[in-house]
Structure 1
Amino acid sequence: MEYETITGFDPKRYLGKWYEIARFDYRFERDMYAVTAEYSLRSDGKIRVVNTGRRGSPDGPTVTAAGKAKLGAPKDPVRPGFLKVSFFGPFYAPYYILALDPDYQYALVAGKRHKTLWILSRQPQLSQEITQHLIEIARQHGFDTSKLRFVEQSNRTPY
Structure 2
Amino acid sequence: MRDPLKLALACGALVLPFSVAFTACRAAQSDPPPVQTVAQVEIPRYLGKWYEIARYPRFFQKQCVSDVSAQYAPRKDGRVEVTNRCRKRDGSIDEARGVAEVVDGSNNTKLEVTFMPPFSGDYWIIGLDQEYRWSIVASPNRRSLWILSRTPSLDKKDLDSALRIIRTQGFALDKLQYTSQDNP
Task: Give the residue type in structure 2 aligned to 1:153.
Answer: Q
Is it true that 1:98 corresponds to 2:126 in the alignment?
A: yes
Moved over 6 A (4+): none
Shift of 1:31: 4.1
Q: Within 1, Cα distance between the matches of 2:35 and 2:73?
A: 25
Is it true that 1:61 corresponds to 2:92 in the alignment?
A: yes
Is it true that 1:70 corresponds to 2:101 in the alignment?
A: yes
Higher strand share: 1
Task: Give the residue type in structure 1 aligned to 2:94.
Answer: V
Secondary structure of the 1:134 match is: helix
Q: Name the counterpart of 1:126.
A: 154
Shift of 1:8: 2.5
Is it true that 1:28 corresponds to 2:60 in the alignment?
A: yes
Q: Deviations 1:85-133 (Å, cap 9, x if unpaired)?
A: 1111132211110011111110011024111100000000100121121
Q: Name the counterpart of 1:48.
A: 81
* Structure 1 residues 68 and 144, CA gap change in structure 2 (3 angstroms): same
- Give the greater-gyration-radius structure (CA): 2
TM-score by length of 2: 0.77
* Structure 1 residues 141 and 81, CA gap change in structure 2 (3 angstroms): same
Is it true that 1:16 corresponds to 2:48 in the alignment?
A: yes
> Any unmatched runs of 5+ in structure 1?
none
Shift of 1:136: 1.4
Task: Give the residue type in structure 1 aligned to 2:118.
Answer: P
TM-score by length of 1: 0.88
Q: Within 2, Cα distance between the matches of 1:95 and 1:30?
A: 19
Shift of 1:2: 5.1
> Any unmatched runs of 5+ in structure 2?
1-32
Q: Name the counterpart of 1:113.
A: 141
Task: Give the residue type in structure 2 aligned to 1:134.
Answer: A
Tell me the C-alpha RMSD between the 2 structures.
1.7
Q: Name the counterpart of 2:180.
A: 152
Identical amino acids, percent of aligned pairs:
36
Q: Which of structures 1 and 2 has the larger relative contact order (alpha carbons within 8 angstroms, sep 6+)?
A: 1
Q: Within 2, Cα distance between the matches of 1:147 and 1:76?
A: 28
Q: Within 1, Cα distance between the matches of 2:39 and 2:183?
A: 33
